[in-house]
Amino acid sequence: MFLPAVHAETDTAVLLQFIRENPLGILITGISSSEQDFLQCSHVPFVLDLPDESGDAGPQGRLRAHIAKQNPQVKAMIEAVENKPPSVLEFDDEVLVLFNGKHDHYVTPKFYVETKPDTGKVIYGKLSLLYDSKIPETDAFLTKQLHDLSEHTERSTMGYIGGDKPQPWKVNDAPDRYIEIMKRNVVGIEIRINKIEGKFKMSQEKPPGDRDGVVKGFESLGTETGEAISALVKARGELYDAKRQEVKNE
């Protein structure tokens, strides 16, 4: 990932919070296979475990997900480890997971002529595959994964938190047979984070006049995306100015 210093976000806590707020990632792998393409990617909603939330999440945290066994990417994974015991199988090579922000937009030259704002986060890590639900360890992983992902999306994405709003749907609301069949048809994915990188390319390095033009330009669109980008450009610009001032005062 190309990370110019002016756009790079080096605060790991900020990057991890971004993933919590934007859990739909793109899992990218390169696996030699006799039948599947070498390069594969899948859009996957991830659960993020922070280092201090679980004793086995690793020093930099962990991503958890589940993917359908019929996915060509999963078929390539299973082929790569088919001669190994069907338990928790770790791949030798790293995988890449890309997370993007919810909003993106073309920037008209009427705002300014340079680059357009965007955000992106990537994680590099070692992937472990859990694909036989008959094994207790795999079954426990999938049970927890389905529960945690449901809780996160029901509460954070749908806003179902109870009280004046609807109660969140729970996996236990589904029939046991349905859950059992579902676990048979998916594999568990666990990625221990080795490195996390991210950037906010939101015009923060531009002169105040240019930044103000972008803020007002997007705000004038009157759309949800326009308002979100306008607010982010303003916030990242203020943060950039504050950091520059700190450097001057040192």
Same domain flag for 19 and 87: yes
Same domain flag for 147 and 169: yes
pLDDT exceeds 70 at position 117: no
77-108 per-position pLDDT tens digit: 988 877 666 555 778 789 999 999 888 776 66
Establish if 2 belongs to a structural domain. Answer: no
Establish if 1 belongs to a structural domain. Answer: no
Q: What is the pLDDT, as a whole number, of residue 162? A: 85
Domain containing residue 195? 12-201
pLDDT exceeds 60 at position 136: yes
For residue 138, the one-letter residue type is T
Q: What is the pLDDT, as a whole number, of residue 113? A: 40
Same domain flag for 211 and 193: no
Same domain flag for 167 and 98: yes
The sign one gets for the Cα dihedral 82, 194, 19, 36 is negative
Nearest C-alpha neighbor of 22 from the set 120, 105, 104: 120
Domains: count for the chain: 2
217-229 per-position pLDDT tens digit: 989 999 998 999 9
Same domain flag for 192 and 221: no
| Higher-pLDDT residue of 119, 29 | 29
The answer to whether 90 and 101 are in contact (CB under 8 A) is: no
pLDDT exceeds 60 at position 118: no
Q: Which two tokens stand for residue 152?
A: 């996160």
Same domain flag for 214 and 137: no
Same domain flag for 125 and 182: yes
174-202 per-position pLDDT tens digit: 899 999 999 999 999 999 999 999 988 88
Helix (H) or strand (E) holding 81: none
Q: What is the pLDDT, as a whole number, of residue 88? A: 59
Give backbone dihedrals phi and psi of 216, rounded to 5 degrees, phi first. Answer: -70, -35
Pairwise CA distance, residues 24 & 13, whole Å? 18
Same domain flag for 184 and 212: no
Establish if 3 belongs to a structural domain. Answer: no
Give the side-chain half-sphere CA count within 13 A for 45.
12
Establish if 5 belongs to a structural domain. Answer: no
pLDDT exceeds 60 at position 116: no
Task: For 218-236, give one letter per residue: b (16+ CB within 10 A) or e.
Answer: bbeeeeeebebbbebbbeb
Establish if 158 belongs to a structural domain. Answer: yes
Q: How many other C-beta atoms are found inside a 10 Å radius of the C-beta of residue 135?
A: 15
**Rounded mean pLDDT of 129-156?**
90
* Whole-prediction pTM: 0.81
Same domain flag for 211 and 157: no
Same domain flag for 119 and 243: no
Establish if 4 belongs to a structural domain. Answer: no
Establish if 120 belongs to a structural domain. Answer: yes
Q: What is the pLDDT, as a whole number, of residue 79? A: 86
Same domain flag for 146 and 34: yes
Establish if 35 belongs to a structural domain. Answer: yes
- Bridge partners of 223, per DSSP, are none
Same domain flag for 216 and 182: no
